[in-house]
Structure 1
Amino acid sequence: MAESNKKLEQNQEEKPLSFIAMVVLTGLVGGILWSGLAQIAYVFNFTEIRQNVILEPWALGDWKNGWLGTVISICLIGGLSIIVALIYYATLRRFQGIWVGMGYGIVLFLLVFFVLNPIFPGIPPFGDLTRNTLITSVCFYVLYGTFIGYSISYEESENKQKEHSEKEVPS
């Protein structure tokens, strides 16, 4: 009898992620995805910058240059990407379209290659970078910014549309 009063598991609705949880997940996936693809670009000599540069200032030993260092670096970039996504959420989520995300990616590129460059000895000075490295890096940062920006602003738009439709139709 008690079971007949309960809903069957297959009939229960899955609760959607909260907006902040979606932002965190977007940041993590974006960081891991795009840094993983950037590492593949390094393997195929499209860029001279490895993902392991993030470990250079802090980690000791040669392990950071092997596969373990690469995996840890990509995961660390995924973690830092959560912070980048939360900053986008706090400042730019209301803007629609891909242009804001692309601009955000360019700002991140400029931040890493000009402001943070002295921290990472594995990234040559901007003027010493090859054309392939510059083009590949800008493209990855623009794609990353677009991924983060469009995902978050789309979800913001969907939430506003849902709230607006709930206000119009009384329950």
Structure 2
Amino acid sequence: MRRMSKKQQLKDNEESVLKKSMYTGFIGGVLFSLLASAMYYFNFLEVTPKYYLLTSWVSAEWTDTWLGILFTTILAGAVSLLIACLYYLILKKIKYMWVGIIYGFILWVILFILFHPIFNDIPAVMEWSMNTWVTTICLFILYGTFIGYSISYDYMDSKQTEDIIEKS
């Protein structure tokens, strides 16, 4: 069996962290999209991910079926890949949970306030009930914490692995 050089091990370790970040982003998008859809079903929310990711662009009958939820969930995972990459590029070195919380809140502001003019058929934030306000903010804070803490943890763990590789 051939031993890898230290440079190759370090490169593989860095690529591994990026891959884990991508997996984290996709899984986070899928899980939180499904959670938001369930919250919409149980009337905790007045808006669903389907409104933002699907029905604003497609007006077909299948969007109101299980296929619409499935397509929205996969699309949310793909969008979340980009969000996780952005976190990885900018904030991965910060290990505090507050960064993920703030990141989630900033994502909420961007989606529901800044991007609202793009989604004409969705009620404005000021027209929402208090349940929708609280639930969406909490959901995005949890999402940001999940993405942020997972990526930062993997990055810090990889740095410890790099230190071990360099010392050996």
* Band the TM-score falls in, shorter-chain normalisation: 0.7 to 0.9
Alignment deviations for residues 85-111 of structure 1 (CA, whole Å, 9 cap, x no partner): 000000000001211001000000000
Give the letter aligned to residue 148 of structure 2: G
Runs of 4+ with >6 A deviation = none
Quote the residue 1:10 is aligned against.
none
Task: Indicate whether 1:50 and 2:48 are aligned.
Answer: yes
Alignment RMSD: 1.7
Q: CA deviation at 1:122?
A: 4.5
Number of aligned residue pairs: give it: 156
For residues 25 and 76 of structure 1, what CA distance do their matches in structure 2 show? 14
1:21-170 to 2 correspondences below 5 Å: 21-53=19-51, 54-168=53-167, 170=168
Structure 1 stretches of 5 or more lacking a match? 6-14
Q: CA deviation at 1:19?
A: 1.4
The separation in 2 between residues aligned to 1:20 and 1:127, in whole angstroms, is 38
Q: Larger C-alpha radius of gyration, 1 or 2? A: 1
Query: Which structure carries more helix by proportion?
Result: 2
8 Å Cα contact 1:27-1:148 kept in structure 2? yes
Distance 2:138 2:41 in 1: 17
Counterpart CA distance in 2 for 1:120 and 1:62 is 19
* Deviation digits for residues 59-87 of structure 1 (CA, Å, limit 9, x no counterpart): 13121122211110111011100000000
TM-score (norm 2): 0.87
CA distance in 2, matches of 1:77, 1:29: 9
Q: Secondary structure at the match of 1:159?
A: helix
- Looking at structure 2, the residues matched to 98 and 40 of structure 1 have their Cα atoms a distance apart, in angstroms, of 26
TM-score (norm 1): 0.86
Amino acid corresponding to residue 162 of structure 2 in structure 1: E
Q: Which moved more, 1:138-147 or 1:157-166?
A: 157-166
- 8 Å CA contact 1:52, 1:73 repeated in 2: yes
CA drift of 1:28 comes to: 0.5
**AA partner of residue 94 (structure 2):** F
Higher RCO, 1 vs 2 (CA within 8 Å, ≥6 residues apart):
2
Residues 32-68 of structure 1: CA deviation (Å, up to 9, x unaligned): 0011011111111001112211112321312112221
Residues in 2 aligned to 1:51 and 1:130: alpha-carbon distance in whole angstroms: 17
